[in-house]
């Protein structure tokens, strides 16, 4: 057994004992042992008990634990603790700077069960209000948790995009003469686990500022950019655009049925020029994962500039950072024509959901703020919790006071497909429901959504004129883009909503549009790609 594994298990044992509030003296002994063992260069597993016992902080119990690990590969006490600790909680120990006491608070007080849920909790600005935390510690924990997830090798595209922009600045300053991003990142896949560039260069390998080379051969370099992003550079051996073009399609696409690879033209500047040379209609990168969507024309698909209204925004009334007026100012400055203020409902106590008196107060404030905006319409909305029995939060008279209601499930997520579908369908059939929010409750790279019967949900939405949200938060992107075509075929409108908890959260609309385009969503099927008046008319019950 390697030293690193022994040291890791000693540390984990101490952490878990502290997490479960076990003997503090034992915890301290394990911490001391860890601090000693991590400095040992000799193979720990083959050291004599006397030699181990002579090391500072290594008592008989630690020597016995090391012997047990060396002989069996594990420690019974550690195995027992792991059995009663959720896997996501154990994973939190991998986040630098977060110890057992904080993790116990995340678990027992806040109900967080994974790194992803912790990240989302921070993004929704809930951690800053918890005892012992604040805005600064929330920001610090968020950054560390995101860094940990990214170091695992999988990236949400929304988190990856700014790093790629930074990397390409470095590439433009290097000896690389030409480069082209390809593969998953070029297609803007929601989850990217491989970043590949095809490059031209006079010499090989090439120095790139911020890039640490791990491995190379005659035509490739693999390394880490800015200590966080694993990147592969492939030296073009034939023609850069042609090679990048081929790799831009998903492995699931049989490109040989689309064109003759041997007849691909040389010397083109980009892949659009290759399509033109082949006399083929252009296929946008986002669609190159599924050839069943290749018939769609790029100009018909929704674009970021087509979105005219910001739907689903939280403010300081619940768990947002900015006020109603600040959110409206930002939306207007960005050129949007309307904004839908959508704070949490009263059952969402964890997110400072609005009691009825606060709803009235907010509506009065919205009316007052509206007077300051002549080019922006402000709609009164609520993200009503879909309760366990499928009913919406608030009595009917309160629900009627909103211009529109978005219904979402936030609690009791552990459901089978029948329970989840029944709960959602009942909410959809409520006459005050207008938009179904984040349909499956998933958090990408963090939490699977609850299973749903899409046919039943889509039929219910179509029958009750309920639109479906494509939540643009890069960690949600729920509904999944693969289900868009099926929903639209039933006449359902899709609303691309940022679920913004801050002014800059509105900018996440970009990632919702990317996902929507990957699913083939057209402008004419997008709820908030119309004027404010038409938006309200589309929401009216039949």
Helix (H, G, I), strand (E, B) or coil at 284: coil
Asked whether residue 378 carries a pLDDT value surpassing 90, the answer given is yes
* Number of residues in the chain: 542
Confidence check: pLDDT of 542 > 80: no
Around Cβ 426, how many Cβ atoms within 10 Å?
17
Query: What's the pLDDT tens digit per position in 73-89?
Result: 889 999 999 999 999 99
Q: Which residue intervals of the chain bear CATH 3.30.460.10?
A: 156-293
Q: Where are the beta strands (DSSP E) in 81-240?
A: 155-156, 176-182, 191-192, 195-201, 211-217, 220-225, 229-235
Q: What is the distance between the alpha carbons of residues 126 and 459, in angstroms, rounded to a whole number?
A: 35
Question: What is the percentage of the chain residues whose pLDDT exceeds 90?
Answer: 84
Which residues share a beta bridge with 462?
none
Contact 516, 482 (CB under 8 A): no
Please answer whether residues 232 and 195 qualify as being in contact, where contact means their C-beta atoms are separated by less than 8 angstroms. yes
Question: From CA 426, how far away is CA 36, in angstroms rounded?
Answer: 59
Q: Dihedral, CA atoms, 317, 321, 322, 324, nearest 10 degrees?
A: -20
List, for residues 46-66, the tens digit of each pLDDT value.
899 999 998 888 999 999 999
Output DSSP code: residue 128.
G
Quote the CA–CA distance of 161 and 212 in Å, as a whole number: 20
Instruction: Encode pLDDT of 194-214 as tens digits.
Output: 999 999 998 999 999 999 999
The residues of the chain that CATH labels 1.10.150.110 are 3-151
Give the strand pairing for 191-192 and 155-156: antiparallel
- Bridge partner list, 443: 447
State the fold for domain 304-539: TIM Barrel (3.20.20)
CATH number of 3-151: 1.10.150.110
Write the class of the CATH domain 156-293.
alpha beta
pLDDT score, position 163? 93
How, if at all, do strands 211-217 and 435-436 pair? unpaired
Cα–Cα dist 168/180, whole Å: 10
Q: Are 540 and 504 in contact, with CB atoms under 8 Å apart?
A: no
Residue pLDDT, tens place only, 6-35: 999 999 999 999 999 999 999 999 999 998
Whether the predicted pLDDT of 315 surpasses 80: yes
Contact call for residues 496 and 509 (beta carbons, < 8 A):
yes
């Amino acid at each position: 057994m390697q030293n690193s594994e022994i040291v890791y298990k000693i540390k984990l044992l101490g952490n878990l004992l502290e997490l479960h509030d076990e003997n503090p003296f034992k915890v301290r002994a394990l911490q001391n042992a860890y601090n000693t063992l991590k400095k040992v260069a000799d193979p720990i597993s083959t050291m004599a008990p006397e030699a181990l016992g002579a090391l500072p902080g290594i008592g008989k119990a630690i020597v016995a634990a090391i012997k047990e690990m060396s002989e069996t590969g594990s420690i019974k006490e550690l195995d027992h603790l792991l059995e009663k600790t959720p896997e996501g909680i154990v994973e939190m120990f991998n986040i630098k700077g977060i110890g057992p006491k904080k993790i116990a608070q995340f678990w027992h007080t806040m109900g967080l069960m994974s790194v992803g849920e912790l990240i989302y909790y921070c993004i929704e600005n809930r951690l800053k209000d918890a005892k012992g935390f604040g805005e600064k510690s929330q920001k610090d924990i968020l950054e560390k948790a995101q860094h940990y997830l990214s170091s695992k090798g999988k990236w949400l595209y929304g988190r990856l995009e700014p790093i790629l922009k930074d990397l390409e600045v470095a590439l433009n300053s290097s000896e690389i003469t030409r480069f082209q991003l390809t593969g998953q990142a070029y297609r803007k896949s929601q989850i990217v686990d491989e970043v590949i560039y095809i490059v031209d260069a006079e010499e090989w390998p090439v120095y790139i500022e911020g890039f640490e080379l791990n491995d190379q051969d005659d035509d490739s370099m693999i390394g880490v950019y800015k200590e966080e992003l694993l990147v592969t550079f492939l030296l073009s051996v034939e023609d850069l655009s042609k090679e990048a073009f081929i790799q831009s399609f998903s492995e699931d696409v049989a490109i040989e049925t689309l064109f003759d690879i041997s007849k691909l033209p040389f010397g083109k500047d980009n892949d659009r020029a290759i399509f033109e040379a082949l006399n083929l209609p252009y296929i946008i990168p986002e669609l190159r994962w599924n050839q069943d969507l290749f018939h769609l024309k790029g100009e018909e698909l929704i674009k970021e500039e087509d979105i005219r209204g910001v739907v689903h925004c939280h403010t300081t009334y619940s768990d947002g950072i900015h006020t109603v007026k600040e959110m409206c100012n930002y939306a207007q400055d960005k050129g949007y024509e309307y904004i839908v203020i959508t704070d949490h409902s009263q059952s969402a106590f964890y997110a400072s959901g609005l009691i009825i008196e606060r709803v009235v107060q907010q509506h009065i404030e919205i009316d007052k703020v509206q007077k300051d905006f002549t080019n922006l319409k402000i709609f009164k909305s609520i993200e009503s919790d879909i309760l366990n029995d499928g009913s919406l939060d608030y009595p009917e008279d309160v629900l009627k006071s909103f211009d529109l209601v978005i219904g979402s499930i936030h609690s009791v997520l552990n459901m089978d497909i029948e329970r989840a579908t029944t709960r959602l369908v009942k909410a959809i059939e409520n006459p005050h429901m207008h938009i179904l929010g984040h349909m499956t409750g998933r958090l990408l790279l963090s939490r699977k959504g609850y299973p749903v019967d899409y046919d039943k949900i889509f039929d219910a939405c179509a029958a009750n004129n309920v639109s479906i949200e494509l939540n643009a938060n890069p960690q949600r992107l729920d509904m999944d883009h693969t289900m868009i075509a099926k929903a639209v075929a039933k006449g359902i409108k899709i609303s691309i909503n940022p679920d913004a908890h801050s002014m800059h959260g509105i900018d996440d609309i970009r990632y919702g549009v990317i996902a929507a385009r990957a699913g083939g969503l057209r402008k004419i099927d997008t709820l908030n790609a119309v004027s404010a008046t038409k938006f309200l008319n589309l929401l009216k019950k039949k």
